[in-house]
Structure 1
Amino acid sequence: MIKYPFLKEEATIGITAPSSGVGSELHGLIKDACNRMNAKGFNVICGETVWTQDKAKSSPAKIRATELNDTMQDDNIHTVIPPWGGELLIEVLEYIDFENIKSKWILGYSDISVLLLATTLKTGIATAHGPNLIDLRGVHSDETTAMWQALLSIKTGESIIQHSSQKYQKEWNHDNFSPCVFHLTEQTYWKVISDSNVMKVRVSGRLLGGCVDVIRHLIGTPFGDVQYFQQHVINNDPILWYLENCELTTVDLRRSLVQMKLAGWFENCSGIMFGRSEANQPVQDYTIRDVYEELSEELQIPIIYDIDCGHVPPQMTFINGAYAEVEVENGKGTVKQYFYP
C-alpha cells in the first residue's frame, strides 16, 4: 500500500543536503530559492549541511544522515527539498532510520533519486522526482517545472494531468540570468519505439525510476528490492519505469540496463520512459536508438524517450508509487497520475 504525503498551504520546508552542499561562492542561489519559497507562503528551515561542500559531499555520511533523520522525524517540517544532487548520497543509506521517518514529501532528482527510490521501496511512502531547490529560485517558473507544487498538493485517491513541455533547454548558461532559470529554446518532441512501429503509444503502471547512473547501485542491496515492493506493496501492479542518463555513454547505459534486467527490475514491466540526455553519445556506431530498440525487443514493451525528465530541463514531477497512464502521439505526451494506495 502506497502512502502519499500532502503539501499543505504555509507548510514548512526543510532544506538538507544528503548528497552535495553548496559552497560559499554560491550561497546566494540558496538564499534566492528560499526567498521564492517564502514568497509562495512556505516557511523554510535550512540545515547546516546545506552551506558546506568538501571532497564531493556536503559533510561526512553520518552527519548527513543524522541531519536527514532529524528532518524526516520532525513533526514541524512537512516537506524535504535538497538544494541539488551530487555524487555520494549512497553513503548515507545505511545510516537512515527508515523505520521511524514520518510521511512527508522528498522532492529532487539526480543523485537525490537514490534516496527517493530507496525510501519508496523500503517504506511504501511516495516520493517526488522533480526539480531541486536551486531550480525553483527564479522569479517565474515555466509551466512544466511549476507543476511540482500541484503534484505535491494532490490528496490520496485524486489524480492530476501533466503535458509535455513546448520547448526544452539545449545547454546550461549560468552567466545569462533568466527570470525562469531555464533558457528554453529547442522544440520538445517525445519519441516512441514499439512492436507495432506506430507513432502513438499508451502505457500504464506504477511509477518507479530516477537517474540510471546512481540508482543502478541499489541492485543487490537491502535498498533495491523491487520484487518485494511489487509483490507486497503494490499488489503485483505492473511497473512503468522512468529513467534518465546523466553521464553514461551508450555502452555504459546498455550495461546498466542489462544489469537491471538480470536483477529482475524489469519483470512485470509495462514500459520504460527515458529522459533527454546530452550523454547519449555513440560508441563505435552503437547509438542510443540501438540501445532503446534492443531493450524494447528483449522485454517486448514500448520505449518512450526524450521525455521531460532529468538533466535537460524542464522536467515533469513523477511520483514514485503513483499509478500513471501515459499517452504519446505526434511528439506530444500526456501523463496522468493517480494517487492510488
Structure 2
Amino acid sequence: MKADHLTKGDKVGIISPSTPAPVKFPERFKRGKAYLESMGLDLVEGCCTHKEQSYRSSTIRDRAEEINEFIRDPEIKAIISTIGGMNSNALLPYIDYKTLKKHPKIMMGYSDVTALLLGIYQKTGLHTFYGPAVVPSFGEYPEMLKSGADYVKNELFAEKKAPYTLEVPDKWTEELIDWHSQDRAKTMVTNEGWKCVRSGKASGKLIGGNLNAMFGFIGTAYFPDLNDAILFIEDSFKDMATEERLFSMLKLHGVFDQIQGLIIGKHEHFDDLGSPFTQEDLLLEVIGDRSFPILENVDIGHTFPSHVFPIGIKVELDADNGDIVFTEKGVH
C-alpha cells in the first residue's frame, strides 16, 4: 500500500514520539521547520511539540494520540518525526492502524522511530520511510546538505522514476558539534564507498532500520516478516560488545535464515573496544555459513548525507558492484 507523493502546499504533521527535541533544541527545531517550509510544505506541530517529561516529550498515550490526530486528519499528507530517542516502541499498541490503512499517508523518521515505521508497515502494509528527522537532519547548520534534501525529494516528492541505482555520495560526515553552540558547518570527508562483505546478487522487499531500536520489539506482532527480504540495519554510538549481542539477537530470531541479502549502514562513532577483529569479522562469525550477499558502509541512518529507504519496496542488491537498485517507488 502506498500514499500519494508530496506536492508543494501539502500539510505535514510534526511528531515527537520520544525525545522532546523541540524543547531541548529550539533553534535547531526552528531551522528544521524553516527548511521544510522552503520545500513548499505547510507544517502543523503536534500536541507534544512543546511538552517535556525528562527523557520523553509526554505520556505514552499522549504521544500516541499526537500521531493518531494526524492519521485521522484528512488534510495531513505526511507525518515526520522531530528526532528519535528510546521509547517509540511503547506507542505501538495505541496507533490507529485501521484509519491509516483506509487513508494512507507518508510516515518518515529514523533511529528509534524504527519501531513506528516497521510496526505500521507490519500492521497495514503501508510503505513507510526511513529518512531524515526535523531537528538533526533538516535542522543542520547552516542548512541541510543538498544531497540529503535531494534524496528526500526523490522519494517523498517522487522526483526520480524507478528503477534507478542509488548514488554513493562523494563526501560524508559524522563530526560532532554541540548543537547549542554550533557556528560552522560540519567538516566533510571523502567517502570510501560502499564495501562488499560477501559477494552475490539478490532481490526482495526492503525492510529494516536501527538495529538497537529493533531490540525493543523484535519477535512481537509488530515486527515484519523478513522472509525474502533485503534487510538493512544501522546504528549509532555502539561498541563491539553491544554489536555482538545485537547481531546474535538477529540470529537467534532466525533472521539470517530468512533474508535474501543484508545492507549495513555507516555506524556513527563506533567503538571497537580495542578488539583484535573488525565489526565485519564479528558479523561473519555470528552469521556463520549463510551465503546471502552483504554490502556495508552504506549512507543510511545517523551519518550525513543519508539516503531515504522506503520500507517494503522491491529492490535489487549487487554486492560485488556495490549497487542498490530501487525497482519501484514507495509512493503513488
Query: Taking structure 1 as the reference length, what is the TM-score of the superposition?
Result: 0.85
> Residue 104 and residue 340 in structure 1: after superposition, are their counterparts in 2 closer, same or farther (change >3 A)?
closer
2:260 aligns to what SS in structure 1?
A: strand
Per-residue displacement from partner, 1:201-230 (whole Å, max 9, x unpaired)? 543221000000011221222211426xx5
- Displacement, 1:160? 4.2
Look up the match of 1:234.
none
Is this contact kept in 2: 1:144–1:316, CA < 8 A?
A: yes
Identical-residue share of aligned pairs (%): 23
Indicate whether 1:162 and 2:166 are aligned.
yes
Is this contact kept in 2: 1:182–1:313, CA < 8 A?
A: no
> Residue 340 and residue 148 in structure 1: after superposition, are their counterparts in 2 closer, same or farther (change >3 A)?
closer
Indicate whether 1:146 and 2:150 are aligned.
yes
Indicate whether 1:320 and 2:320 are aligned.
no
Per-residue displacement from partner, 1:74-103 (whole Å, max 9, x unpaired)? 111000111111111111111112122231
Q: Report how many aligned residue pairs link the two structures.
A: 323
Tell me the amino acid that sits aligned with residue 121 of structure 1. Answer: Q
**Unpaired runs of 5+ in structure 1?**
231-237
Look up the match of 1:15.
14
Partners in 2 of 1:251 and 1:322 — Cα distance? 32
> Residue 280 and residue 226 in structure 1: after superposition, are their counterparts in 2 closer, same or farther (change >3 A)?
farther
Q: 5 Å matches for 1:56-71?
A: 56-71=55-70
> Residue 136 and residue 337 in structure 1: after superposition, are their counterparts in 2 closer, same or farther (change >3 A)?
farther
> Residue 4 and residue 48 in structure 1: after superposition, are their counterparts in 2 closer, same or farther (change >3 A)?
closer
- Displacement, 1:337? 4.0
Look up the match of 2:197.
193
**Unpaired runs of 5+ in structure 2?**
none
Tell me the amino acid that sits aligned with residue 335 of structure 1. Answer: V
Tell me the amino acid that sits aligned with residue 188 of structure 2. Answer: L
Indicate whether 1:291 and 2:282 are aligned.
yes
1:208 aligns to what SS in structure 2?
A: strand
- Displacement, 1:329? 5.4
Per-residue displacement from partner, 1:246-288 (whole Å, max 9, x unpaired)? 2432232222222223323334311111111122524653430
Per-residue displacement from partner, 1:221-245 (whole Å, max 9, x unpaired)? 2211426xx5xxxxxxx20011002
> Residue 288 and residue 210 in structure 1: after superposition, are their counterparts in 2 closer, same or farther (change >3 A)?
same
- Displacement, 1:6? 2.1
- Displacement, 1:182? 4.9
Look up the match of 1:221.
220
Runs of 4+ in 1 over 6 A off after TM superposition: none
- Displacement, 1:325? 1.8
Tell me the amino acid that sits aligned with residue 322 of structure 1. Answer: I
Q: 5 Å matches for 1:171-250?
A: 171-173=175-177, 174=179, 175-178=181-184, 182-194=186-198, 201-226=200-225, 230=227, 238-250=228-240
> Residue 74 and residue 188 in structure 1: after superposition, are their counterparts in 2 closer, same or farther (change >3 A)?
farther
Per-residue displacement from partner, 1:101-126 (whole Å, max 9, x unpaired)? 23111111011111111111111000
2:304 aligns to what SS in structure 1?
A: coil
Partners in 2 of 1:84 and 1:267 — Cα distance? 32
> Residue 285 and residue 336 in structure 1: after superposition, are their counterparts in 2 closer, same or farther (change >3 A)?
same
